[in-house]
Chain A
Amino acid sequence: MKILVCISNVPDTTTKITFTPDGKAFNTAGVQFVINPYDEYALTRAIELKEAQGGTVTVLNVGEAETEPNIRKALAIGADDAIRVNLKPTDAFLVAQQIAHYAKEGGYDLILMGRESIDYNGFQVHGMVGELLGIPTIAPAIKLDVNGSTATLEREIEGGKEIIEVALPIVASAQQPMTEPRIPNMRGIMTARTKPLQVVEPVGQEAKTSVQAYELPPAKSGVKMIDAENAGELIKLLRNEAKVL
């Protein structure tokens, strides 16, 4: 089984978000970048499937050279090889085009990624890749198993979940509790250095959206404290002052 796992390079979840003074760009100064947490579920599940059933796991990232430490990290966790499409990922369709092109070229059975990146929050790329390739997308998946040429997935829906059986190839996007993400061990880190990381040029540059400006939400005006002895007072304030009850 050939598995392709798409990963994004995103600010660490503890990052305090700030923008350049003109509000046009994310301020990356001092920011630690990590593999998108949702993508880690996809990556770990892909490695588990490979270990149990054989096959290969290829990691794909659309990004510029600074994403390579996190691509190496994915190789250290257990992917076999990697592709970096040398392009700044500014738009979901732009990214989906790259993934679809290289996924088609590689002939993968399973194309996995996280449900969304924690910076752009698009929740779009998996559906676009599926449509571009003309194969089903199951998103967001909370469970994934493969038996021969059939995948069984649990898909989260509002208010429950669905069990879906579908023939490969498919695109699926992962979220918890699909599996427990792994961290690289020393042996993995050593072997990752020599695993192949191929840098390829982008195909097409068509973007359909462009960010004009960023803004932070307004700060809270301050907290009103209520004495614990009179906690019941809170409920009255919520009804009469905040008017939410």
Chain B
Amino acid sequence: MSVLVVIECANGEVKKSSLEAASYGSKVAAALGTSATAVAIGDVQADALTRLGEQGITKVLLDNDSRLHNFVGAAYVKVISKVAESENSSVIVLSNSNIGAAIGSRLAVKLGASLATNVVALPQINGSSFTVRRGVFSGKAFSDVELSSDKKIIAVKKNALDIETAAEATATVENFSADLSDADFATAPKETIKQSGDILLTEADLVVSGGRGLKGPENWHLIEDLAKALGAATACSKPVADVGWRPHHEHVGQTGITVSPNLYIAVGISGAIQHLAGVNSSKVIVVINKDPEAPFFKAADYGIVGDATEVVPKLIEAAKALDK
């Protein structure tokens, strides 16, 4: 019996969401009286994997087949299921990313495992009962779900849990080959288009988001300038994406992206229930709106009643004055 953590990598580094998964996996392993092993796939440097020891990982298996640098569902699932078999893993922890969910759902069928996605807390383990808390109703509620199969797969929601760091601890890195064939790469992408320059919205600690209260795309620079001054990612409300001021991949809300940053600043967004669903697991919410009756103020920690074009420049100035 062991706990296996799936580590996603990009540009030579381990993704932050995977550090969260590693930290989660080590705690589950401790609760079960076993150790946590990791499997890493993708473009990564060995020393980034060695440092996973800081999150309590003892051993990392790395498949460095370069064809795995892009995400290919069938190939990733094959590597992970082979590792799970050789390590006799009873609990597999992933990040609740597009990649993690794609792997988890196929792996659950392949291994006959119970799968819980969008998990926000450590499991409650009592004898043979194993229950996890997950987000449901698009951020409006939680449910406690019992995982009844012997094998369990848990996809941990981003930014829901802290990353534990123990200084100086290191993990051993071993190579692992799953002997992949060309057929495993049938859905390999023909082309990958990377979003350039910006801080990634789904990984961001700080988010500045704009709505129709900005009046038009000509004022969008206010959102960008404030985000830049704070080192934040930018986002928008659904109406702003629908009228085409901003691309759909920045739309936060029930049918868009769900974010859970440490700080979410909403400028000129009234706070429709569908928008709140996408942001209400943010740790601190700031609302700036000229309408004092805007429903978003009820969900906020800090609020300013005022016009975006007057308030935001003052915030930019104050943010620039902060010593980093």
- Which A residues are within 8 Å of any B CB, using their own CB? 11, 13-17, 19, 26, 37-38, 92-93, 96, 118-128, 130-132, 136-140, 142, 155-167, 175-177, 207-217, 220, 223-228, 231-239, 242, 244-245
> What would be 9 A-B contacts, judged by CB atoms less than 8 Å apart?
A26-B137, A118-B255, A119-B137, A124-B101, A162-B191, A177-B248, A208-B149, A233-B318, A244-B206
- Top 5 closest A-B pairs, CB basis? A127-B105, A228-B306, A232-B318, A162-B189, A235-B318
**Known contacts A13-B255, A127-B105, A130-B106, A237 near B302 by CB under 8 Å:** yes
CA distance A130 to B109 in the complex (A): 10
Residue among A92, A156, A165 making CB contact with B98, cutoff 8 Å: A156
- B46 at interface (Cβ–Cβ under 8 A)? no
Instruction: Let me know if B302 and A234 touch, CB within 8 A.
Output: yes
Tell me which residues across on chain B come within 8 A of A119, comparing CB atoms.
136-138
Tell me which residues across on chain A come within 8 A of B106, comparing CB atoms.
127-128, 130-131, 137
Residue among A93, A227, A242 making CB contact with B108, cutoff 8 Å: A93
Instruction: Let me know if A239 and B302 touch, CB within 8 A.
Output: no
- B156 at interface (Cβ–Cβ under 8 A)? no
Q: How many residues of B contact A (CB 8 A)?
A: 97
Instruction: Let me know if B110 and A131 touch, CB within 8 A.
Output: yes
Residue among B98, B116, B285 making CB contact with A158, cutoff 8 Å: B98
In the complex, which residue of chain A has the Cβ closest to the Cβ of B157? A121
Q: Describe A's contact surface by its main secondary structure.
A: mixed
Q: Describe B's contact surface by its main secondary structure.
A: mixed
- B70 at interface (Cβ–Cβ under 8 A)? yes
**Known contacts A13-B254, A215-B142, A176 near B248 by CB under 8 Å:** yes
Tell me which residues across on chain A come within 8 A of B189, comparing CB atoms.
155, 162-164
**Known contacts A215-B142, A224-B303, A156 near B249 by CB under 8 Å:** yes
Instruction: Let me know if A223 and B303 touch, CB within 8 A.
Output: yes
Instruction: Let me know if B203 and A158 touch, CB within 8 A.
Output: yes
Kindly specify which of B54-62, B167-175, B292-300 makes contact with the partner chain. B292-300
